[in-house]
Amino acid sequence: MDGERRRVGGGRTAGRSPGGPRPVRPRLRDRPWASARWWTRQHEVATPHAVGASLGVLYLAAALALAAQALGVPGGFPFVSEVASSDMARSLQGPVTLLSLSAAAVVVSAVVTLRREAVTHRWAHLLTAVATCLIGVAVVAAPDDGAAVALAAVYGFVVIESAVVFAPGPATLQFLLCGSAAVISLSCRDDVDPGEMVAVVVVLVATAAVVGVLARHASDARVDELTGLPNRRGLDQMLEAAATAAGRGGTVLTVGLLDLDGFGAVNDGLGHEAGDRLLRETAAAWREALPADVVLARMGGDEFAVLLPDRSPAAAAALLDALCADPHRPASAGVAAKGPTESTADVVRRADAALYRAKSTGRGRCLQADHDLPGAGDSAALTRELTEALRSGGLHLVYQPLRATPSTPGFAAEEALLAGVETLVRWTHPVHGPVGPDVFVPLAEREGLVAQLGAFVLRRACHEMAALPDAAARRVRLSVNVSGLELLDPAYPGRVADALRDSGWPADLLVLEVTESVVEADSRAALAALRAVADLGVALAVDDFGTGFSALSRLDDIGAGYLKLDSTLIATVHTSPRRARLVRAAAALARSLDITLVAEGVETLEQAHVLASMGCPVLQGFHLGRPEPVEALARRLATETTHPVGRALPLQAPAVVRQGRGDHDRAGAVAADAGRPTADA
């Protein structure tokens, strides 16, 4: 995840040194209150719980003031002493009205306090306006001018309530209603001096101004200046409130974290202003795309958080998957559901762990926390469900393009011609939603399902590609990942031959990818399997090259036709001179061995240009194409010009494999990698 940057005040001069230039005053339109968002943005403290509680206190305070005036406590209406007076009938009119209003206020206060979680801002506006009218009636019904002015002071509670819980625009409307009600109600009395009326209004205006400014500053401390979203402090407060509400209501609260992919490249290549613009546009686009009840916040840097009330982890993952798939702002995400006894900090940590897995296993998607996955804590249940998915077709394949680099410098992405596709497997659980390959592939390895999984991927890929129109499909190479455990099975070469024969897919257009860790292992069975599939005319590729410790002799032993540079080498190739020298050396090595070099994890056009200048002939990554189902691939093949396979990529594996160079007897653990996603998946 890219580190957080500190924003420096918009590039304007903050102060003036002696003899220096005159400081530039912000333009009117740049002032915060000149934007529509400033007038409509709610205070972050105005959660349903806080709004309901404050309204309850407002009505209770009004009830006590009314009761005090009616019952004759010090400063109140001396009702008891005047009961026997000749004006008793006239004096009873005030106390009865005040007591009735007080009782009504007590009832409203109790209901609002008990049901405070259900108080929406619309109800809050209505209840505040009702309180304003209630106080106005009480002022008119007061027995004397002192009581009337005292009751008018209760308008101060309304002003404070409005300033704290409403956005500046709606709060201003409440202020106007409150001030008008105070003037009208006091004007209805003949015994109120105009000076007293002016004093009441001045106090209300001053209270509104002071509390409004303090509330806005308190709210701004919880709002990100750049995007207008809640910041980390605001998120923490809202997360605690949402967790409390979910616990009381018995509902699910899911937390998600999103991180922009390739944001560091934007910052480093285009500057901080471009990075800021991308963050603002991303915040606006995601806020528009998310449902109204979902909270979006900025954690810092290029990391965002979402609170998804009453949504399962699967539903939340599907929602965030749609955000991650946006080609204009690619992102990775992780989600976790809060457990009944789990702290908010723990659920955020689990969501962050899921985000890290999404970033490290391919990017561009949302993964669930392990605790929330189907069968979590019950390996047997998840194994049964995976077995059923293999039997019933619950798994599906997607294909990521590999593109040949044009000879012209400064090329655009669409100028890189399609030369091949890599097959990636996906599992969408019927209840829990997407399950990442980093979860179900290791399970298949542990539970002995890896051969069945690998056979499914190989056969399905060959059949889907062979079913495409001949003129299109037979111009690209099909790459399939192979597990080291599959290579230990003597029957594996036969399964490859069967898949090719049954589907009709040409052997010379199939590439089997093994990881560098497989190359490192001196397993006689694995080497024999690789030679056998090479005898069929199938090409071999070493995947994740540069992350292991394989010797050059091992590349010679397996007869690799391709080297796929790991994405960790590519990420900083355009910013790190040392990393660039490593990639340039790998390109020279590949050329000297007559091996085609493929760079994985290409996420920016700048990376593509740098790699092309280093002599890397084939590129793969989000910038050049995301994984897509076979139907989308068919449409792409029908409209795009593909690169001639014979000139772009070797058609045959080197003959050294068929010569049987070097059998080794040392048994080694062969890393399993069947059906896993590449770093770009």
Is there a contact between 324 and 330 (Cβ–Cβ < 8 Å)? yes
**Among 130-134, 149-153, 253-257, 514-518, which stretch is predicted with the lowest mean pLDDT?**
514-518
Tokens read off for 480: 């399939």
β-pair type (539-545, 562-565): parallel
Query: What percent of the chain is predicted at pLDDT more than 70?
Result: 73
The pTM of the whole model exceeds 0.75:
no
**Among 390-404, 446-460, 508-522, which stretch is predicted with the lowest mean pLDDT?**
508-522
Residues linked to residue 543 through DSSP beta bridges, in sequence order: 515
What CA–CA distance (Å, rounded) separates 448 from 310?
37
Residue 294 φ then ψ, to 5° = -95, 130
CA atoms within 13 A on the CB side of 62: 38
Are 223-372 and 377-540+618-664 in the same CATH fold? no
What CA–CA distance (Å, rounded) separates 396 from 424?
9
CB proximity list for 438: less than 8 A, separation 6 or greater: 357, 361, 367, 676, 677
**CATH 3.40.50.300 correct for 223-372:** no
Backbone angle region of 335, left / alpha / beta, with phi > 0 → left and psi within -120 to 50 → alpha: beta
Is there a contact between 514 and 542 (Cβ–Cβ < 8 Å)? yes
DSSP code, position 223: B
Q: Which run of H or of E encompasses 249?
A: helix 232-249
What CA–CA distance (Å, rounded) separates 676 from 481?
7
pLDDT for res 64: 82
User: 3-class SS at 433?
Assistant: strand
pLDDT for res 255: 93
CA distances from 122 to 48, 104, 165, 170 (A): 11, 21, 12, 11
Burial class, 178, CB count within 10 angstroms (exposed 0-12 / middle 13-18 / buried 19+): buried
Is there a contact between 673 and 481 (Cβ–Cβ < 8 Å)? yes
Amino acid at position 35, single letter? S
pLDDT for res 76: 40
Is there a contact between 278 and 397 (Cβ–Cβ < 8 Å)? no
Q: How many CB atoms lie within 10 A of CB 308?
A: 25
What CA–CA distance (Å, rounded) separates 567 from 117?
48
User: 3-class SS at 403?
Assistant: strand
User: 3-class SS at 575?
Assistant: coil
Tokens read off for 663: 């059998």
Query: What percent of the chain is predicted at pLDDT more than 90?
Result: 9
Domain ranges for the chain: 48-220, 223-372, 377-540+618-664
Q: Could you tell me the pLDDT band of residue 399, with boundaries at 50, 70 and 90?
A: very high
Average pLDDT, the chain: 75
**Among 208-217, 412-421, 668-677, which stretch is predicted with the lowest mean pLDDT?**
668-677
CATH of 377-540+618-664, one of 3.40.50.960, 3.40.50.720, 3.20.20.450, 3.40.50.261: 3.20.20.450
Helices (H), 250-301: 263-270, 272-289
Q: Is the pLDDT of residue 445 over 60?
A: yes
What CA–CA distance (Å, rounded) separates 241 from 52?
13
Comparing 574 with 554, which gets the higher pLDDT? 574
Q: Could you tell me the pLDDT band of residue 669, with boundaries at 50, 70 and 90?
A: very low
Comparing 501 with 577, which gets the higher pLDDT? 501
